[in-house]
Amino acid sequence: MPLLTFNDRGIYCARADVYIDPWKPVPRALITHGHADHSRWGNDHYLSTRLAAPVIKYRLGDIDLETVEYGEVKTINGVKFSFHPAGHIIGSAQIRVEYKGEIWVASGDYKLEDDGLCQPYEPVQCQHFITESTFGLPVYRWIPQEELFADINDWWRATAAEGRTAIITGYALGKAQRILDGLDTSIGKIYTHGAIENTNEVLRAQGIKLPDTTRVTREVNKKEYPGNIVVATPGAIGQPWVKKFGNASVAAASGWMTLRGARRRRGADRGFVLSDHCDWPSLLEAIDLTGADNIYVTHGYTAIFSKYLREQGYNAVELETDYEGELAEIETKGSEETSKENALADEE
Amino acid sequence: MKNFAELFKRLDRTTKINTKVAALADYFIQVDDEDKLWTMALLSHRRPRRTVNSKLLRAWAGELSGIDVWILEESYHVVGDLAETIALVLPPPEQDYDHTLTYWIQYIEQFAGYDEEGKKEAVQEAWRGLGTTERYLFNKLITGNFRVGVSQKLMTRALASATGIEETNLAHRLMGNWTPNDTTFEELIHSESATDDISRPYPFYLAYQLEQPAGELGSPDEWQAEHKWDGIRGQVIVREDEVFVWSRGEELVTDKYPEYHLLASAIPNGTVIDGEILPYRDGQPLGFNVLQTRIGRKTVSKKLLKDAPVVLMCYDILEYEGRDVRKLPMSGRRELLERVIEENDTQEVLQLSPVFHFTHWDELAAERETAREKYSEGIMLKRRDSEYKQGRKKGDWWKWKVDPLTIDAVMMYAQRGHGRRANLYTDFTFGVWDGDVLVPFTKAYSGLTDKEFNQITSWVRRNTVEKFGPVRSVKPQQVFEIGFEGIRKSTRHKSGVALRFPRMLRWRQDKPMDEANTKADLEAMLEVYGS
Tell me the domain boundaries of chain B. 2-143, 205-401, 405-529
Domain at B2-143, CATH from 1.20.5.510, 3.30.470.10, 1.10.3260.10, 3.10.20.30: 1.10.3260.10
Which residue out of B65, B458, B459, B472 would a mutagenesis test of the A interface target, given it has the greatest number of A Cβ atoms within 10 Å? B458
CA distance B137 to chain A (A): 13
Contact status, residue A331 vs residue B457, Cβ threshold 8 Å? yes
CATH architecture of A145-272: 3-Layer(aba) Sandwich (3.40)
CA distance B54 to chain A (A): 18
- Domain topology for B405-529: OB fold (Dihydrolipoamide Acetyltransferase, E2P) (2.40.50)
Asked whether the beta carbons of residue B84 and residue A331 sit closer than 8 angstroms, the reply is no
Count of CB pairs separated by less than 8 Å, A with B: 72
pLDDT, average across residues B483-512: 87
Task: Give the pLDDT of residue B192.
Answer: 61
Helical segments of A183-254, H only: 194-205
Q: Is B218 left (phi over 0), alpha (psi -120 to 50) or beta?
A: left
Please name the member of A260, A269, A333 whose beta carbon is closest to the beta carbon of B14. A269
State how beta strands B208-209 and B397-401 pair. parallel
Domain at A5-139+277-330, CATH from 2.40.50.100, 3.40.640.10, 3.40.630.30, 3.60.15.10: 3.60.15.10
ipTM: 0.88
Cα–Cα separations (whole angstroms), residue B365 to B225, B369, B402, B528: 11, 6, 9, 20
Task: Give the pLDDT of residue A321.
Answer: 78
Task: State the first-to-last Cα distance of chain B, in angstroms, to the nearest integer.
Answer: 52
Q: Is the pLDDT of residue B196 over 60?
A: no
Q: Which amino acid is at A110?
A: Y
Q: Inform me whether the C-beta atom of residue A284 falls under 8 Å from chain B C-beta atoms.
A: no
What DSSP string describes B299-325?
S--HHHHHHS-EEEEEEEEEEETTEE-
CA distance A281 to A299: 17
Asked whether the beta carbons of residue A304 and residue B71 sit closer than 8 angstroms, the reply is yes
DSSP3 helix / strand / coil % (chain B, rounded to 5)? 40, 25, 35
CA distance A206 to A234: 25
Element (H, E) at B142: helix B132-143
Asked whether the beta carbons of residue B72 and residue A301 sit closer than 8 angstroms, the reply is no
Task: Give the pLDDT of residue B190.
Answer: 77
Q: Which amino acid is at B257?
A: Y
DSSP annotation of A212 reads -
Residue A223: pLDDT band with limits 50, 70, 90:
very high
Q: Considering the domain B205-401 in this protein, what is its CATH number?
A: 3.30.470.30
Q: Which residues of B touch A264 (CB under 8 A)?
A: 12, 420
Q: Inform me whether the C-beta atom of residue A322 falls under 8 Å from chain B C-beta atoms.
A: no
Q: Which amino acid is at B158?
A: A
CA distance B490 to B501: 15
Q: Inform me whether the C-beta atom of residue A333 falls under 8 Å from chain B C-beta atoms.
A: yes
Residues 6+ apart with CB under 8 A from B16: none
CA distance A329 to A344: 17
Q: Is the pLDDT of residue B503 over 90?
A: yes
Q: Is the pLDDT of residue B176 over 80?
A: no
Asked whether the beta carbons of residue A139 and residue B455 sit closer than 8 angstroms, the reply is no
Give per-residue pLDDT as tens, B389-406.
988 888 899 999 988 899
CA distance A293 to chain B (A): 21
Q: List where CATH 3.40.50.10890 sits in chain A.
A: 145-272
Beta bridge mates, B284: B281
Q: Is the pLDDT of residue B495 over 90?
A: no
Task: Give the pLDDT of residue B372.
Answer: 84
CA distance B94 to B96: 7
Residue A347: pLDDT band with limits 50, 70, 90:
very low
Contact status, residue A86 vs residue A32, Cβ threshold 8 Å? yes
Task: Give the pLDDT of residue A342.
Answer: 37
Asked whether the beta carbons of residue B423 and residue A308 sit closer than 8 angstroms, the reply is no
Give per-residue pLDDT as tens, A51-75.
999 999 999 999 999 999 999 999 9
CA distance B515 to A320: 33
CA distance B306 to A105: 73
Task: Give the pLDDT of residue A195.
Answer: 94
Task: Give the pLDDT of residue B12.
Answer: 86
CA distance B140 to chain A (A): 14
Asked whether the beta carbons of residue A138 and residue B72 sit closer than 8 angstroms, the reply is yes
Q: List where CATH 3.60.15.10 sits in chain A.
A: 5-139+277-330
Task: Give the pLDDT of residue B344.
Answer: 93
Q: Inform me whether the C-beta atom of residue A330 falls under 8 Å from chain B C-beta atoms.
A: yes
Task: Give the pLDDT of residue A345.
Answer: 35
Q: Which residues of B touch A139 (CB under 8 A)?
A: 75, 78-79, 85, 88-89
Asked whether the beta carbons of residue B88 and residue A138 sit closer than 8 angstroms, the reply is yes
CA distance B39 to B28: 9
By C-alpha distance, which of A37, A346, A320, A28 is closest to A174?
A37
